[in-house]
């Protein structure tokens, strides 16, 4: 049978207002703005490409994505005691100005009662026990469709998450009342350009709304296998032998086209093949490949002992690995494998692509990085220059004495903005989990933990795919990860792959020491 068989602190209360003169907003094309001729509050989201699927991930995202969270402003590890703003007896988690949309809500301990106010409403449009939002049993909508249900919400390995979008034209305030101290949380949201015709969240779902969420749900539920679209997509696949110490051409595809899936299976006597065989993908005759990573790490398999996992973008099931980040190109794409082991391997692959014009979609990048933590300095997963958007990461951390290194916060530095505009509460929390990946390996539609060994030396591996909440940048982007509460856990060994998009095929890329002596030329 072929391989394809088938985001509480007082400053949170300060309004994070939109910036009308921001160059990131100025490029919002009128063709993107939603028409009010169609019915349903989800219609503008769909027309902006925010439909929960991978189809629009490569397109430019000309808006801001930011985050409010309970991170400890003193720099310590008390990420659930960041302060409070009292509002009519509740604690304000977020006070946002529109137009915008909440994209993600996460907590490791969703205590108290949640109240969500939209626009000028005197009363919350949603009020329920906080934990119930994630349970799949909260029925607020019309019969026949439960919006706050799997796969849009869930719980896994110590973390609760919701990806149900909550758009708002004027404002959105999220409050928790009752037993809510301590409370750890993250809320990721988008700020759209002034004038973007967003329609505010409603309790009623129209026919268009139901279709929007059903398509999203079906896409996230059917992640084990991806069937090509007959007559629209083409598949290039084969089985070949990869020789030791070789740079082997795998596939060449003429453009314009979009690679919609790369699927591979490798069989070798040497288990190091997943760490020492590298995948390189060149787009439009790049001198340096836009994709360059060990083959296992590229697909999220950061550890040889990784459990099986299946997300919308990355997966590994019984040796079959896939990546479904869309990869647009104008003229030419070439995939090569660089085997740095002394062993041969049998290699089976399928590359699915959709021929045709790609519009203004950005180029896909994925690049490996490694390093050892140093006192006082965070580990940098990505340092980017230019315009684009960050779309996810796979990370392995090992050689730790205990799991306390996970207290280190994650933070993005975007276009020179303060890090507090996108500061998280810990490595495990970034991956939508918590309590040091409490129950071990877990696989969700956008994130997962693939490995955990709590015995010294401690090791963990995890991945997250940003689908609804990619992080746009105009001039620069950096993703840093603290180790320990104050970068005080030296000696942690990190390996990571960052996934992102840029508007140029010739983006500046960091060096990879392990490949300094390797010939990356196409022969």
HEC sequence for 418-450: CHHHHECCCHHHHCCCCCCCCCCCEECCCEEEE
Q: Total structural domains in the chain?
A: 2
| DSSP secondary structure letter of residue 238 | E
Flag whether 516 is in a domain.
no
Flag whether 468 is in a domain.
yes
Flag whether 355 is in a domain.
yes
Its domain, for residue 360, covers 234-511
Backbone torsion region of residue 408, taken as left when φ is above 0, otherwise alpha when ψ lies between -120 and 50, otherwise beta: beta
Give 374's strand partners: 377
Return the H-helix or E-strand segment holding 412.
Answer: strand 410-414
Flag whether 280 is in a domain.
yes
Phi, psi of 281 (to 5 degrees): -125, 125
Other CB atoms within a 10 A radius of the CB of residue 495 amount to 20
Task: Mark whether 374 and 451 lie in a shared domain.
Answer: yes
Task: Mark whether 261 and 217 lie in a shared domain.
Answer: no
Give residue 523's pLDDT. 54
Give 117's strand partners: 173
Pairing of the two strands 379-385 and 291-294 = unpaired
Give residue 83's pLDDT. 47
- The closest alpha carbon to 407, from 76, 164, 152, belongs to 76
Give residue 28's pLDDT. 40
- The closest alpha carbon to 53, from 213, 198, 173, 184, belongs to 213
Task: Mark whether 244 and 145 lie in a shared domain.
Answer: no
For tokens 């090509």, name the residue: 228
Give residue 77's pLDDT. 77
Last residue within a domain, chosen from 186, 221, 256? 221
- Enter the tokens of residue 16: 């994070």
Q: pTM, whole model, 2 decimals? A: 0.92
Per-residue pLDDT of the chain (523 residues; tens, 9 = 90+): 444 443 333 333 333 333 333 434 444 433 333 334 468 999 999 999 999 999 999 999 999 999 999 998 877 777 876 545 656 667 889 999 999 999 999 999 999 999 999 998 889 999 999 999 999 888 776 556 788 999 999 999 999 999 999 999 999 999 998 876 688 999 999 999 999 999 999 988 899 999 999 999 999 999 999 888 889 999 999 999 999 999 999 999 999 999 999 999 999 999 899 999 999 999 998 999 999 999 999 999 999 889 999 999 999 999 999 999 999 999 999 999 999 999 999 999 999 999 999 999 999 999 999 999 999 999 999 999 999 999 999 999 999 999 999 999 999 999 999 888 899 999 999 999 999 999 999 999 999 999 999 999 999 999 999 999 999 999 999 999 999 989 999 999 999 999 999 999 999 899 998 898 787 776 5
Task: Mark whether 211 and 289 lie in a shared domain.
Answer: no
Phi, psi of 122 (to 5 degrees): -80, -20
Give 237's strand partners: 350
Pairing of the two strands 159-162 and 153-156 = antiparallel
Other CB atoms within a 10 A radius of the CB of residue 177 amount to 17
- Enter the tokens of residue 165: 């979008």
Task: Mark whether 198 and 255 lie in a shared domain.
Answer: no
- The closest alpha carbon to 351, from 273, 284, 253, 256, belongs to 253
Flag whether 518 is in a domain.
no
Q: Is the peptide bond before 151 cis (omega within 30 degrees of 0)?
A: yes
Task: Mark whether 412 and 354 lie in a shared domain.
Answer: yes
- Enter the tokens of residue 91: 């604690």
Pairing of the two strands 363-372 and 291-294 = parallel
Task: Mark whether 212 and 356 lie in a shared domain.
Answer: no
């Amino acid at each position: 049978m072929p391989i394809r068989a088938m985001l509480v602190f007082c400053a949170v209360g300060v309004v994070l207002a939109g910036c009308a003169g921001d160059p990131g907003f100025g490029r919002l094309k009128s063709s993107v703005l939603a028409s009010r001729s169609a019915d349903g509050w989800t219609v503008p989201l769909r027309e902006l490409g925010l439909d929960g699927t991978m189809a629009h991930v490569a397109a430019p995202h000309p808006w801001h994505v930011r985050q409010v969270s309970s991170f400890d402003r003193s720099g310590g590890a008390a990420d659930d005691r960041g302060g409070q703003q009292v509002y009519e007896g509740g604690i304000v988690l977020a006070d946002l100005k529109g137009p915008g949309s909440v994209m993600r809500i996460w907590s490791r301990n969703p205590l108290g009662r949640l109240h969500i106010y939209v626009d000028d409403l005197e009363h919350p449009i949603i009020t329920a026990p906080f934990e119930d939002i994630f349970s799949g049993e909260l029925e607020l909508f019309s019969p026949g469709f439960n919006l706050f249900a799997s796969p849009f919400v869930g719980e896994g390995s110590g973390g609760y998450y919701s990806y149900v979008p909550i758009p708002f034209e004027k404002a959105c305030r999220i409050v928790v009342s009752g037993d809510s101290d301590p409370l750890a949380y993250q809320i990721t949201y988008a700020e759209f350009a002034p004038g973007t015709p967003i329609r505010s969240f409603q309790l009623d779902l129209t026919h268009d709304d139901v279709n929007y969420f059903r398509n999203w749900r079906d896409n996230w539920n059917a992640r084990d296998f991806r069937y090509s679209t007959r007559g629209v997509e083409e598949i290039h696949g084969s089985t070949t032998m990869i020789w030791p110490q070789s740079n082997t051409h795998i596939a060449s595809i003429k453009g314009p086209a979009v690679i919609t899936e790369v699927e591979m299976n490798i069989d070798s006597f040497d288990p190091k093949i997943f760490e020492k065989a590298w995948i390189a993908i060149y787009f439009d005759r790049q001198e340096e490949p836009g994709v360059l990573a060990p083959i296992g790490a590229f697909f999220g398999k950061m550890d040889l002992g990784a459990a099986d996992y299946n997300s919308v973008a990355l997966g590994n099931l019984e040796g079959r690995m896939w990546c479904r980040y869309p990869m647009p190109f104008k003229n030419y794409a070439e995939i090569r494998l660089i085997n740095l082991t002394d062993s041969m391997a049998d290699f089976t692959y399928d590359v699915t692509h959709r021929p045709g014009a790609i519009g203004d979609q950005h180029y896909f990048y994925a690049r490996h990085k490694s390093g050892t933590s140093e006192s006082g300095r965070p580990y940098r997963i990505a340092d980017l220059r230019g315009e684009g958007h960050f779309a996810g990461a796979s990370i392995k951390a090992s050689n730790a004495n205990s799991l306390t290194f996970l207290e280190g916060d994650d933070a993005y530095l975007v276009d020179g903005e303060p890090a507090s505009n996108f500061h998280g509460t810990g490595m495990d929390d970034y991956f939508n989990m918590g309590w040091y990946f409490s129950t071990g390996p877990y696989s969700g539609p956008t994130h997962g933990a693939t490995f955990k060994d709590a015995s010294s030396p401690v090791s963990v591996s995890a991945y997250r795919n940003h689908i609804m909440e990619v992080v746009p940048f105009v001039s620069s982007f950096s993703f840093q990860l603290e180790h320990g509460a104050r970068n005080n856990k030296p000696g942690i060994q990190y390996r990571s792959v960052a996934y992102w998009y840029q508007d140029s095929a010739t983006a500046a890329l960091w060096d990879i020491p392990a490949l300094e002596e390797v010939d990356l030329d196409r022969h």
